[in-house]
Amino acid sequence: MSTTTPPTASAPTTAPVSQQWVLTLSCPDGPGIVHAVAGALAGLGGNITESQQFGDPLSGLFFMRVQVEAATSREDLEAALQPVAEHFAMSWVLDVVGRRVRSLLMVSKAPHCLVDLLYRERSQAMPIDVVGVVGNHPDLEDIATFYGKPFHHVPVTRGTKAGAEARLRELVAELDVELVVLARYMQILSDDLCREMPGQIINIHHSFLPSFKGARPYAQAHDRGVKLIGATSHYVTGDLDEGPIIEQDVARVDHSRRVEDLVAIGEDVERQTLARAVRWHAEHRVLLDGHRTVVFR
């Protein structure tokens, strides 16, 4: 069990005014959890405005996400929740609703996911703060620049991979990065890097996993003659294309579509699937349940 406080949360610590908090937690299932959490929040005068629970009979774990409006400080909230969390052996995260998650976008040459995420950030359609864009190719610098984002060109070749990952670690540390989004980044991260940021790296795979793992999924889909193509957004683990799935979607195709048509049609599916996954993550709606996810939409 652990108390994870997002590193850059700028919650007020004095003169509390009423605001929305979001609490997510998981623990071994059992009676009394909802009552205990609701009681701790009610004791501070909090009004629960949204709440979702799920008990997984397979893992025996209980998951909860609750939004509460309360005129209280983070210290007081944590003090009220701490005994409950300890009693039920909870992993929990407390954050301010709408706080923008510091995100680093990683790209190669395909612009569609980058354009989409930067546009949605600027439209305030998702609570992320893109603190930088990393490209192993320089092609997309102009888009980053248009949206006012620093672009870091970090080329990767067989010989320079270790150095490139070291540079990534530096950027993550320097920029206080909470979330890395692989927005059609065509390099594979090392197992070590994946393990250092569990549940903090989101990828978009351009197929309906577990169909068509690996490279060139649209060519595989075309060869198999499928009638729907898809995209899968998932957390990255060391196990390539096997990380916990956050969101999937599909689009209909027919026999007349060539591989390049599938690629073009797939772009729309990819960017929407990735955008939903990133938004849900940033809104603390995604909880890990072993190699699967609980998504409280």
21 or 208, CB closer to a second copy?
208
45 or 138, CB closer to a second copy?
45
- Chain-centroid distance, C-alpha 237: 13
* Nearest distance in Å: CB 262, a second copy: 13
* Nearest distance in Å: CB 160, a second copy: 30
* Nearest distance in Å: CB 228, a second copy: 5
**What DSSP assignment string belongs to 125-137?**
SS-EEEEEEEESS
9 or 258, CB closer to a second copy?
258
Helix then strand count (H, E) for the chain reads 8, 14
65 or 102, CB closer to a second copy?
65
Q: Tell me the two tokens of residue 91.
A: 């992993």
Q: Is 78 helix (H, G, I), strand (E, B) or coil?
A: helix
H/E stretch holding 4 reads strand 3-4
Q: Is 223 a catalytic residue?
A: no
* Nearest distance in Å: CB 66, a second copy: 8
Q: Is 103 helix (H, G, I), strand (E, B) or coil?
A: strand
78 or 289, CB closer to a second copy?
289
- Single-letter residue type at 159: G
Q: Which of 95, 116, 241, 249 is catalytic?
A: 241
8 Å CB contact between 3 and 13: no
* Nearest distance in Å: CB 167, a second copy: 28
Q: CB atoms < 10 A from the CB of 196, how many?
A: 14
Q: Where are the alpha helices (DSSP H) in 178-216?
A: 191-196
Place of tokens 């690629």: 263
Q: Tell me the two tokens of residue 274.
A: 């990735």
* Nearest distance in Å: CB 112, a second copy: 7
158 or 255, CB closer to a second copy?
255
First-to-last CA distance in the chain?
A: 25
Residues that bind a second copy (CB under 8 A): 29-35, 38-39, 41-42, 45-57, 111-112, 115, 119, 123, 125, 146, 208-212, 224-228, 230, 244-250, 254-256, 258, 264, 267-268, 272, 289, 291-295, 297
226-255 burial, b for 16+ CB within 10 Å, e for fewer? beebbbbbbbbbeeebebbbbbbbebebee
Sign of the dihedral defined by the CA atoms of residues 33, 37, 43, 45, in that order: negative
Supply the residues annotated as catalytic: 241
